[in-house]
Amino acid sequence: MIILQDMSMTELSEYLTTEFGVRPFVAGQVYSWLQKNVGFDDMSNISLALRAALADKCIAAAVQIVETLESAVDGTRKFLFRLTDGNVVEGVLMRYKYGNTLCISTQVGCRMGCKFCASTLGGLVRNLSAGEILSEVLAVNALETEPRYVTNVVLMGSGEPLDNFDQVVKFLQLVSDPQGIGISLRNISLSTCGIVPNMIRLADMGLPVNLTLSLHDPFNDERALIMPVTNAYPVEEAVSACKYFFDKTGRRIYIEYTLIDGQNDSYAHAMKLALLLHGMPVHVNVISLNPVRETGLKGTSESNLKRFLGYLTKLGVSATRRRTMGRDIEGACGQLRRRYLEEHHD
Ligand code: SAH
């Protein structure tokens, strides 16, 4: 089956005119419906014959929301998306004063093996296609009548976006299409554990996204223990790639730093981090580890987190704590999917 949401307006027009003999304006109408993440049945201004022909060969909505949890604390909503092959991935909608940020997944599972992360526990199942990633955004956006319900997107759900490079880049093109949902790339954050060659490729493309490096530990020997990707790409190289990205795009870099109790929260860590980032236009988001049952790792206490932030500030590093949202609805990435899989295996 062909996923129509994988196609740009031009590709769709070409496909529908050659395969189904439709006129270009009809392709435009189909494209508009695809942005609403509906099925062919709902495409009311498309002829029944064409809808039936399309349904035979194509998929209109690549993902469906099968479960929604809403936080009683802050209104954060967590979604479970079902792909057409039965796999599930998750997303989270966080509400801020300036708009709504949707965190989405780029892969089913992940093969990066970070020790603190729930998404990687079962390894990589498969990559999502560009249209499947897009459909996560479209499905949530369609929940409300305002045309721009989702204003910001972060690629921080399950998966490593730069391990699915081509589809993620295609997604960025699709999601920012002014004829489509038209979310500006400046409102999109791409978070990576540090796959250096693909950070460089992304920089060379000049796409003005917000690049976030999940750093978590400035010492390579320690970082390698929690993030195996360090063995391939040392942290200095990942930071250099961030600098290169800034030089190419002019976009400030973000660093994600998750504090693990007694492991990466000392003054020595703050000092080394400050040295590593010296002179760079970066902002560090500090967060305490969200405990995942299977990992046995503990988050840093509130007082140690404040102390660590204080060190960074004194060392001249721009840093704030990232607000923890939706703790009451299966916090960390990958947890909801794991619970769903546990409940549904029979
Ligand atoms: N693979 C990408 C994006 C997905 S993970 C990356 O590594 O950046 C999104 C962020 O959540 C990363 O910074 C990741 O390190 C962090 N993360 C994963 N599990 C976590 C947990 N249990 N607690 C806190 N942060 C976690």
Q: DSSP string covering 269-322, please?
A: HHHHHHHHTTTS-EEEEEEE----GGG---BPPHHHHHHHHHHHHHTT--EEEP
| Count of structural domains, the chain | 2
Q: Is 193 in the pocket of ligand 1 (CB under 6 A)?
A: yes
337 CA from centroid of ligand 1 (Å): 15
- Cα 187 to ligand 1 centroid, rounded to whole Å: 19
Minimal-distance CA residue to ligand 1 atom 7: 193
Both 260 and 118 in one domain: the answer is yes
Residues labelled catalytic: 90, 333
Q: Is the CB of 258 under 6 A from ligand 1?
A: yes
Same domain (yes/no): 276, 318 = yes
Ligand 1 in reach of 116 Cβ (< 6 A): yes
264 C-beta closer than 6 A to ligand 1: no
Confirm or reject: Cβ of 289 under 6 Å from ligand 1. yes
Q: Hey, whose CA ends up nearest to atom 5 of ligand 1?
A: 156
Ligand 1 center–CA 97 separation, angstroms: 24
DSSP letter (8 states) at residue 129:
P
pLDDT (0 to 100) of residue 295: 82
From atom 4 of ligand 1, which residue's Cα is the shortest distance away?
156
CA 117–ligand 1 middle distance (angstroms) = 6
- Looking at residue 331, its pLDDT comes to 53
User: Do residues 188 and 317 share a domain?
Assistant: yes
Distance 244 CA to ligand 1 centre (A): 23
Q: Are 300 and 308 in contact (CB under 8 A)?
A: yes
Of 40, 59, 78, which residue constitutes the final position of a domain?
59
Nearest to 239 by CA among 155, 317, 334: 317
C-beta 156 within 6 A of ligand 1: yes
Q: Measured from the CA of 216, which atom of ligand 1 is nearest?
A: 15
Compute the distance between CA of residue 6 and CA of residue 29 in angstroms, rounded to an integer.
16
Q: Whose CA is closest to atom 17 on ligand 1?
A: 117
- Helix, strand, coil percent content, the chain, rounded in steps of 5: 40, 20, 40
Query: Which CATH number characterizes residue 263's domain?
Result: 3.20.20.70
Same domain? 124 vs 228: yes
Q: What range does the domain containing 28 cover? A: 2-59
**Are residues 249 and 171 located together in one domain of the fold?**
yes
Structure confidence at residue 346 (pLDDT): 40
Specify whether 192 is located in the same domain as 296: yes
Please name every residue paired with 78 in a beta bridge, in sequence order, or none if there are none. 69, 92
Residues 46 and 67 in one domain: no
pLDDT at site 276:
98
pTM of the model: 0.95
Between CA 111 and CA 155 the distance in angstroms is 16
Nearest CA to ligand 1 atom 24: 289
Residue for token digits 């305490």?
Answer: 288
| Any ligand 1 atom below 6 A from CB of 292 | yes
Q: Which of 39, 59, 79 is the last residue of a domain?
A: 59
318 plus 338 within the same structural domain: yes
CATH number for the domain including 33?
A: 1.10.150.530
How far apart CA 191 and CA 282 sit, in angstroms, is: 14
Q: Give yes or no: residues 260 and 133 share one domain.
A: yes
Q: Could you tell me if 255 and 337 lie in one domain? A: yes
Residue 177 CA to ligand 1 centre (angstroms): 28
Ligand 1 neighbour 333 (Cβ under 6 A): yes
Q: Among the atoms of ligand 1, which is closest to the Cα of residue 290?
A: 23
Residues of the chain with pLDDT under 50: 345-346
Boundary-marking domain end, from 30, 59, 88: 59
The 3-state DSSP class for residue 99 equals strand
What pLDDT does 242 receive? Answer: 98
Residues paired with 103 in a beta bridge: 92, 154
134 and 227 belong to one structural domain: yes
The confidence score (pLDDT) of residue 71 equals: 87
Q: State whether 52 and 137 are in the same domain.
A: no
Task: Tell me the best of 92, 105, 115, 117 to mutate to test the pocket of ligand 1, counting ligand atoms within 8 Å of each CB and taking the most.
Answer: 117
